[in-house]
Amino acid sequence: MKNALLLLLLVAAGAGGWYAYVKTRPAKDTVAYRTSPVTRGTVIKDIRVTGIVRPIKQVEVGTQVNGPIVRLYADFNSVVTANQVVAQIDPAVYEATHAKDCAQLKSNEANVNQTRARLALAEKDLARKSELAARKMLAPSELDAAAAERDALQAQLGVALAAVEQSQAAVKLSRTNLGYCTIRSPVDGVVIARNVDEGQTVVSSMSAQKLFQIATDLKRIQVEASVPEADVGQLRNGQPVSFTVDAYPDPFKGEVTQIRLASSTVQNVVTYPVIVEADNPGERLFPGMTAILLIEVSRQEDALVIPAAAMRFAPTNLVTDIRGPKIWLLNTNRTPEAVAVKLGISDGSRIVLQEPDGVEGREVVLGLQGSQANGGAAGPKNPFMPTPPGGNDARQMRRAMR
């Protein structure tokens, strides 16, 4: 008796719930759409790339001579000026070489003076013998010997002068090498890298060994970005750029200054280096930081704007003769009607409408609401949603109560 009464109550509750569900559910022929009004706004088309912060000018200071570092006058982050001494290499060997070359130069100069004196004597002797030969008082062989002596001394003087020039070049070279022992900064800037320590011996072989890296004034920096070949055709010098780094939340402003032709290919992806220059207030940007750049390609202000989703709406239950780009606008009967459009730039989420005019404020269809977006299919069942009265779960419960 109790089981029969309980079953009767369950049946009555199920019938009441089913009646309420049927009365409140929407009609099958009613279609609800997701819409958005056509408004006016500013659309910016940009290219998003990554880049590396670098100094506008970076100089590597090296050495052309060998020897131990006896003193360093600059360290990391040191501010240096042009021609300032930043390091000293032990000059003992080069001082000795320079002293030897100077002594050799003096010896060669003395040899020139000696040869000139002998040449002057030979010329006087030749003049006297020429007078005697003219008077038939000297044999011709002695006159020829005097002339040969004069010519030999002239040639010897030329050799001595050449030796002097060679010694002068050796002195200049040794003086230059001695000067290279004192390392000076070629520019005004900041030391961003130091590759040696005091007491370390540097050896310069085929190329100069790097001692320091000096960056010019960091109040202004450049960002070297890698732009794919598909986007590089949209870039021009002078385009505004906004970029951020992980160290700071606020963006920095710059502009494109150079589009380089030196392409690089990595895994079949071709990119081109694009240089962006920007101010560095407070010198907060450090060389080597990774920057995320937004390069503004074009901008349109006070334009008719629709969501990009409106261009993806393609109803299967509506027919139109319009070919090409179109949108669906709700008319006064809340029924979609197709309208041909001419599109402008897009920022990915919004699109500019260039044509037609007079649609501002109207509602553009983005899609169907709820399950209708999937063509009426119920879609995957949510296990947390309650089952409508009379559903499978209710029938199973009634069978269990029997």
Q: Do 352 and 292 belong together in one domain?
A: no
Q: Do 321 and 286 belong together in one domain?
A: no
Within a domain: 384: no
Residue 28 has pLDDT above 50, yes or no: no
Q: Do 289 and 337 belong together in one domain?
A: no
Q: Do 260 and 321 belong together in one domain?
A: no
For the residues 353-361, what does the mean pLDDT come to? 86
Task: Give the domain range for residue 156.
Answer: 91-180
H or E element in which residue 146 lies? helix 140-180
Q: Do 286 and 309 belong together in one domain?
A: no
Listed range (13-27, 53-67, 150-164, 303-317) with the worst mean pLDDT: 13-27
Q: Do 326 and 285 belong together in one domain?
A: no
Q: Do 353 and 294 belong together in one domain?
A: no
Q: Do 103 and 171 belong together in one domain?
A: yes
Alpha-carbon torsion 88, 93, 95, 97, what sign? negative
133: confidence class by pLDDT, cuts 50, 70, 90: confident
For the residues 135-160, what does the mean pLDDT come to? 91
Distance CA 147, CA 164 (A): 26
Q: Which residue, 124, 155, 180, sits at the end of a domain?
A: 180
pLDDT digits (tens, 9 = 90+) for 216-233: 888 999 999 999 999 999
Q: Do 293 and 223 belong together in one domain?
A: yes
Nearest residue to 159 (alpha-carbon basis) of 148, 169, 167: 167
Is residue 89 a contact partner of residue 67, using CB atoms and an 8 Å limit? yes
Residue 173: Cβ within 10 Å count: 13
Distance CA 364, CA 330 (A): 6
Q: What is the DSSP letter of 238?
A: T
End-to-end C-alpha distance for the chain, whole angstroms: 12
pLDDT digits (tens, 9 = 90+) for 231-287: 999 999 999 999 999 999 999 999 999 999 999 999 999 999 999 999 999 999 999
349: domain CATH number is 2.40.420.20
pLDDT digits (tens, 9 = 90+) for 334-343: 889 899 999 9
Listed range (11-15, 118-122, 150-154) with the worst mean pLDDT: 11-15
pLDDT digits (tens, 9 = 90+) for 204-219: 776 778 899 999 888 9
Distance CA 49, CA 297 (A): 13
Distance CA 49, CA 325 (A): 30
Within a domain: 141: yes
pTM of the model: 0.66
Output phi, psi for 225, to 5 deg. -105, 150
For a pLDDT cut of 70, what percent of the chain falls above it?
84
**Count of domains forming the chain:** 3
For the residues 131-157, what does the mean pLDDT come to? 90
For the residues 351-371, what does the mean pLDDT come to? 85
For the residues 289-298, what does the mean pLDDT come to? 95
